[in-house]
Structure 1
Amino acid sequence: MSKKLVLGAGIVISLLLSPLSQVSADELTGGERKQVDNVAHRGAAGYAPENTIAGFDLAVDMKADYIEIDLQRSKDGELVLIHDTTVDRTTDGTGKVGDLTYEQLKSLDAGSWKGEKFAGEPIPTFEEILDRYYGKVGILIELKAPQLYPGIEEQVAEVLKERNLDKPQNEKIIIQSFNFESMKKMDKLLPKVPIGVLTSNHADTTTDSLEEFSNYADWFNPNYGNVTEELVHQVHTLDMKIGSWTVRSQEAADFLFEMEVDAIISDYPDYVDPRN
């Protein structure tokens, strides 16, 4: 808990100043919903190809608070955005991400599978995303299968430090993974950057597990099928926030609003934000 004790005062101030903590006049009048962070899963993935500039641009247009990105590494060491550990599903290529060079990955069409109008969308790099979006929208960075890419934590930390993003304003950079050991490492490398743990395993929602996570994590991010009022209360009691995924229906979004989670991670940002 030492991380939270050190950062506590700064986080309180940043939350008070953050526009994300403010509630609109309509919400105040209606009193029906608390403000939650609207996280566009892999961009607005319901409407545009995931992990592409087209998807992230649309998410920004749809007033998302964060874009969620999946980070892996090419054979020659370039940090790139793609969800699967192979390129087969979302590009016109085949093979493992880690077996392909950046030039090979860059040459792939990562958009046509979602529709002809997205033809030619490339696989972006991590640096491209930071330079294009930081300051416009929050960035939730998922390290995808970091065990396949030894040293990726140090590499990510270095890229962020080069841009002075190891001390993000208003917690607008968050790093998460299903790999808990990787997140322990990230917490040590970037003690001022919020850390999240991802899980779909009900065993990770026990009191003992949550207490362990709270030693290094600021966010506990379970599949929405594991979310209950009791779990949300436990997470908040341990001074963590809770963000849940992946919302692909209005009913799921409404359920998570009722549970009073802190963030909703959705392929459809308009299910979370009625302004769209």
Structure 2
Amino acid sequence: MSKKLLIGTGVALSLIFSPFSQAFAVDQTVGERKQVENVAHRGATGYAPENTIAAFDLAVDMKADYIEIDVQRSKDGKLVLIHDTTVDRTTDGTGKVGDLTFEQLRSLDAGSWKGEQFVGELILTFEEILDRYHGKIGILIELKAPELYPGIEEQVAEVLKERNLDKPQNEKIIIQSFNFESVKRVDQLLPQVPVGVLTSNRADTTFEALQEFSTYADWFNPSYGIVTEELVNQVHSQGMQIGSWTVRSQEAADFLLEMGVDAIISDYPDYVDPRN
């Protein structure tokens, strides 16, 4: 059973029996969109270079609920934000992230590939992002290829604990990974922090697989190409929430809203939230 299920059940029961619940239902606007968590994928990367201050600041301005970040580790042990396991695509450098020191990574231009207005954007540290954005916006932390960085789960957990971000009142922190063993390890280290499994594999959507995930995960986060209404219902029946990725079109956002997912991870936060 998901560690958040009991809390969620209590909240649900309180709403069912609340004298305000019926009035609330009546007052809802016809055609109003279901509330979902609007997650800016690596920041608002449709408009700014991924995993940079420019992208994260824009996500905050666009009223996203979360920013999603990718955490890896430099050769000398610094936790850094970058998606690919090499720097080639998103910087002016070359090489594997884990083969470069933090000083080498920090010297790279991580913005100009997206446009000349972003020249000088830097590869950021995990600590910098926590200090700059926690309290302003939720942070969805992806451990990227953790199998390349033994002990990264403990390192991430320690950084969060140093900032008291391992406590229940700070549930705007979520940790996820494609590496299920890594997710299990994080759940053991940070039992009060929600964790999620990422997948694009339909084999992970069976009843048996979802039941196994629910023993340690709070979120099941599949690619939108395998999302169905039945899957959403099955995930919910196991006490988990479902967040889907990566939305890069209005049609994809509308589809996921129709399916009733709990979070939409998008390069374009404005596709999810029409206020923008």
Name the TM-score class by shorter chain: over 0.9
CA contact (8 A) 1:175 1:193 kept: yes
User: Aligned partners of 2:262, 2:2: CA distance in 1, in Å?
Assistant: 22
User: Structure 1 residue 170: deviation in Å?
Assistant: 5.5
* 2:7 aligned residue: 9
CA contact (8 A) 2:2 2:239 kept: no
Secondary structure of the residue that 2:67 maps to in structure 1? Answer: strand
User: Aligned partners of 1:31, 1:250: CA distance in 2, in Å?
Assistant: 17
* 1:135 aligned residue: 135
Change (3 A) 1:137 1:111: same
Matches within 5 A, 1:35-46: 35-46=35-46
CA contact (8 A) 1:11 1:170 kept: no
In terms of mean alpha carbon deviation, does 72-81 or 167-176 score higher?
Answer: 167-176
Residue deviations 1:78-126, cap 9 Å, x none? Answer: 0000000000000000000000000000000000000000000000000
User: Structure 1 residue 200: deviation in Å?
Assistant: 0.3
* 1:260 aligned residue: 260
Report the TM-score, using the length of structure 1 for normalisation.
Answer: 0.92
* 1:270 aligned residue: 270
* 1:169 aligned residue: 169
User: Structure 1 residue 33: deviation in Å?
Assistant: 1.7
User: Structure 1 residue 178: deviation in Å?
Assistant: 0.2
Secondary structure of the residue that 2:135 maps to in structure 1? Answer: coil
Identity percentage of aligned residues = 83
User: Structure 1 residue 12: deviation in Å?
Assistant: 5.5
**Which stretches in structure 2 are left out of the alignment for 5+ residues?**
15-23
Change (3 A) 1:2 1:175: closer
In the comparison of the two structures, how many residue pairs are matched? 266
Residue type matched to 1:125 in 2? T
* 1:21 aligned residue: none
State the 4+ residue runs in structure 1 displaced beyond 2 angstroms. Answer: 1-5, 8-13
* 2:59 aligned residue: 59
Matches within 5 A, 1:1-276: 1=1, 3-4=3-4, 8-9=6-7, 28-169=28-169, 171-276=171-276
Secondary structure of the residue that 1:175 maps to in structure 2? Answer: strand
CA contact (8 A) 2:2 2:214 kept: no
User: Aligned partners of 1:107, 1:119: CA distance in 2, in Å?
Assistant: 12
Larger Rg: 2
CA contact (8 A) 1:74 1:101 kept: yes
Change (3 A) 1:127 1:168: farther
Question: RMSD value over aligned CA atoms?
Answer: 2.1
User: Structure 1 residue 168: deviation in Å?
Assistant: 4.5
CA contact (8 A) 2:2 2:218 kept: no
User: Aligned partners of 1:72, 1:96: CA distance in 2, in Å?
Assistant: 11
Residue type matched to 2:189 in 1? L
**Which stretches in structure 1 are left out of the alignment for 5+ residues?**
17-23
Residue deviations 1:63-85, cap 9 Å, x none? Answer: 00000000000000000000000
Report the TM-score, using the length of structure 2 for normalisation.
Answer: 0.92
User: Aligned partners of 1:2, 1:133: CA distance in 2, in Å?
Assistant: 27
